[in-house]
A and B are shown apart, each in its own frame.
Chain A
Amino acid sequence: MTQIAVNHKNLTAETIGKNWITLFLVILVIVFSLITPAFFSIDTLQLILFNGTEVFLLGAAELFVIITGGIDLSVGFVMGFSTIMSSKLIVIFQGFGLPPFMSILSGSLIMLVIGLLPGLVNGWLVAYLRVPAFIATFSMLGITHGISELMTQGVPTKNLPSLAGIIGNGSFLYISPDRKIHFFTRPQVARGQIVVSILPNMVVFAFIFILIFSFLLSKTKFGRHLYAIGGNIDAAIRSGINVKKDLLKAYMISSFFASLAGISYVMKYITGKPDAGADLLLDSIAAVVIGGASMAGGSGTMGRTILGALVIAVVQTGLRIIGMQTFMTYILVGSILIIAVILDQVFPNLNR
């Protein structure tokens, strides 16, 4: 009888321990809603997702590398490089006389190919030349930053087609006052009437890729091998897994997601800046670790990483809504990250 009671108690503690991040998220939302009742609304939720798009994408980027036991410090500045490169490409294509939509599409697609390069170099250095991931990607941070600055000479990119902003700030569907649903285009309505917009385009865009890669991670051999590499790299090598090739792919996926984040930024803010993602390195690593991954590798899931990123996004937008300075976000995210790591150290079985 006592035994059962003890087990039951442990189980409850374990359930709470495993889901502390969900609990924390709920508490955050309650606190923000108490301070500003308007916080609790569909619009705020969409704003949180919209503002957090890049955090989601960079969290996904970092996850692939952290699972293997590595780290990618370059994601923020690869994203910055992507904002510069993609916006310049779009402007060039427009100069050739391509229609705005085609310019945006071609510029973005080419950027996604170019965006694999930093990851290719990172992965090659880490997997084939055995350069520590910290050093390889830290150097790539500097290199991509420098290239971006050289390309812009200190001036953010401009002259992007206004369509970029329309796409970037638009929504997937709109509901007009007469309850009609409109896809992609905001209906014209009389003054004072309210159009409800559902699912910001960039959020949909980000989650399409996140879902595809989540599938790759959890269901395919490649995904399983990444976990094996992070868990025991010697075992992975001896069991015949092509560890070098898989590591290379992980770093390329990371930089692919960083490029996506850059394109998302360009669409939203209609400009490119070398330091567009400078603040986001903290967020990207924090998202993964808050989501329960261990920096030692071998653990972490896409779902939990997105949950971790959501916590950060809620803090960011929430603090802004209740009128705090954005700098508070850094302090809070940094603190939550430390708590997450301590929890991982003290209760190593929590998230596994």
Chain B
Amino acid sequence: MIDHKKQGGAMPHILEVKNITKRFGGLTAVDDVGFYVDHGEVVALVGDNGAGKSTLIKVISGVYKPDAGEIFLNGSKIHIESPIDAINYGIETIYQDLALAENLDVPSNIFLGREITKKKAGLIPVIHQEYMLEESRKVLDRLDIEIPSLKSNIRNLSGGQRQAVAISRSIYWNAQVLIMDEPTAALGISEQKKVLELVSSLRKQGIAIIIISHQMYDVFSVADRIIVMRRGIKAGERLVKETTSEEIVSLIVGAETVEKK
């Protein structure tokens, strides 16, 4: 049903996880789950609350260490011990809370923790504000995002603009894999649309995207492939063009007929 050889066989997947298991005490949050994502592909991770989507994502982004399983990047096995490791491998995660410093402006956020400096008097490294502003403008233009003043603090931006800043930050640092946790939650209708457009334009640029979402509309409008999680296991995997939202919903809730398929 799923064409695993669509890249021509030899080409490894950008990211592939195999047999991931994560337990919290007696609870197995993720049980032997594997999936992959390719260049310019959007994979949606869906499932009910507590299905293990977030836990699986946090294993990939370095927040949790898995009890079992392997992670491969471009075909080679990698070890992700911390969020910084994941970022260094080009795996960027945008959490629901966006992790922006609301009291700082757009460039300061895009470059947060990785500020560019210049030498003052050839000696003291100071923050290169102009360069960061220029680069921020470039990355926002590339994504076709309009923010009136980059010098305004994040707290003065709308939800969609904040999401855009968070995405720009990931993209600027050459993310190969972008993980987005509920990117459209807490956004107005028109802003949801903009964020989804943004996801499509990122895909065109060849970035592999994993989206966690509850919204069937989002999933069907941007994803290429859907992975359904239920109670820690992978309940199913479907190509968007070969499935319906009814089928996905029944996979999510675990209706008998579909499960036996």
Which residues from A are CB-within-8-Å of B97? 234
What are the residues of chain B within 8 A of A228 when measuring CB–CB? Answer: 101, 104, 108, 112-113
Contact present for A231 and B104 (CB under 8 Å): yes
Q: Which residues of A contact B120 (CB under 8 A)?
A: 219
A238 and B83 in contact, given A219-B127, A221-B125, A352-B155 (Cβ under 8 angstroms): yes
Task: Report if B114 contacts A (CB, 8 A).
Answer: yes
Which of B87, B101, B103, B153 sits near A240, CB closer than 8 Å?
A: B87
Among B98, B101, B104, B126, chain A packs the most CB atoms within 10 A around the CB of B101
Residue B228 lies at the interface, judged by CB distance under 8 Å to chain A = no
Q: Is B112 within 8 A of A299, CB to CB? A: no
A224 to B124, CA, bound (A): 15
Q: Report A233-270 residues with CB < 8 Å from chain B CB.
A: 234-236, 238-241
**Using Cβ atoms and an 8 Å threshold, which residues of chain A touch B155?**
352
Given contacts A236-B112, A240-B84, contact A221 B127 (CB under 8 A): yes
User: Is B259 in contact with chain A by the CB < 8 A criterion?
Assistant: no
Contact of B205 with A by CB under 8 A: no
Known contacts being A224-B127, A352-B155, is A232 close to B108, with CB within 8 Å? no
Bound-state CA distance A238–B103 (Å) is: 17
Inter-chain contacts of A168 with B (CB < 8 A): none
A2 within 8 A of B: no
Q: Shortest distance in angstroms between B35's beta carbon and chain A's nearest beta carbon?
A: 24
Q: Looking at the complex, which one of A225, A232, A352 makes contact with B99 (CB distance below 8 Å)?
A: A232
Q: 1/0 per residue A45-71: CB within 8 Å of B?
A: 000000000000000000000000000
Chain A residues positioned under 8 Å from B112 (CB to CB) = 228, 235-236, 239, 241
Contact B114 A231 (CB under 8 A): no
Contact with B along A88-109 (1 / 0, CB 8 A): 0000000000000000000000
Are the CB atoms of A235 and B83 closer together than 8 Å?
no
Is the interface on chain B under 10, 10 to 19, 20 to 34, or 35 or more residues? 20 to 34
> Which residues on A sit within 8 Å (CB–CB) of B87?
240
- B101 and A232 contacting across the interface, CB-CB below 8 Å: yes
Q: Taking the complex as formed, is A230 at the interface, i.e. its CB lies under 8 A from any CB of chain B?
A: yes
Determine whether the beta carbon of B101 is less than 8 Å from that of A235. Answer: yes
Q: Chain A CB within 10 Å — which of B98, B104, B153 has the most? A: B104
Q: Is B100 an interface residue (CB 8 A)?
A: yes
The answer to the question of B141 belonging to the interface, with a C-beta cut-off of 8 Å to chain A, is no
Q: Give A171 Cβ to nearest chain B Cβ, in Å.
A: 30
Residues of A near B117 (CB, < 8 A) are 220-221
Task: Tell me whether A227 and B125 are in contact (CB under 8 A).
Answer: no
Which residues does chain B contribute within 8 Å of A239, judged by CB atoms? 99, 112-114
Is residue A298 within 8 Å, beta carbon to beta carbon, of the partner chain? yes
Expressed in whole angstroms, the minimum distance between the Cβ of A250 and any Cβ of chain B is: 16
User: Could you tell me which residues of chain B, from 120 to 135, have a CB within 8 Å of some CB in chain A?
Assistant: 120, 124-127
B247 contacts A by Cβ under 8 Å: no
CB distance from A31 to the nearest CB of B (A): 35
CB 8 Å contact bits of B35-61 with A (1 = contact, 0 = none): 000000000000000000000000000
Q: Are A230 and B125 in contact (CB under 8 A)?
A: no
Q: Which residue of B lies closest to A232 (CB)?
A: B101
B-chain residues with CB within 8 Å of residue A234 when the two chains form the complex = 97, 99
From 160 to 203 in chain B, residues with beta carbon under 8 angstroms from any chain A beta carbon are: none
Q: A221-B115, A240-B114, A352-B155 are in contact. Are A227 and B103 (CB under 8 A)?
A: yes
Residue of A with least CB distance to B98: A235
CB distance from B75 to the nearest CB of A (A): 26
Residue among B83, B87, B103, B124 with most chain A CB within 10 A: B103
Residues of B within 8 A of A352 (CB): 103, 153, 155
Q: Which residue of A lies closest to B153 (CB)?
A: A352
Separation in Å of the B52 CB from the closest CB of chain A?
21
Complex CA–CA separation, A231 to B83 (angstroms): 20
Known: A232-B100, A235-B99, A239-B99. A219 touches B126 (CB 8 A): yes
Which residues of B72-114 have CB atoms within 8 Å of chain A's CB atoms?
83-84, 87, 95, 97-104, 108, 112-114
The reply to whether A235 and B126 form a contact with Cβ atoms under 8 Å apart is no
Tell me the smallest distance from the CB of B173 to a CB of chain A, in Å: 10
A-B contact pairs, 6 of them (CB 8 A): A231-B101, A232-B101, A232-B103, A234-B97, A236-B113, A298-B103
Q: Which residues of A contact B (CB under 8 A)?
A: 219-221, 224-225, 227-228, 230-232, 234-236, 238-241, 298-299, 352
A-B pairs, top 9 by smallest CB distance, nearest first, are A239-B113, A231-B103, A231-B101, A298-B103, A235-B99, A219-B126, A240-B113, A239-B112, A228-B101
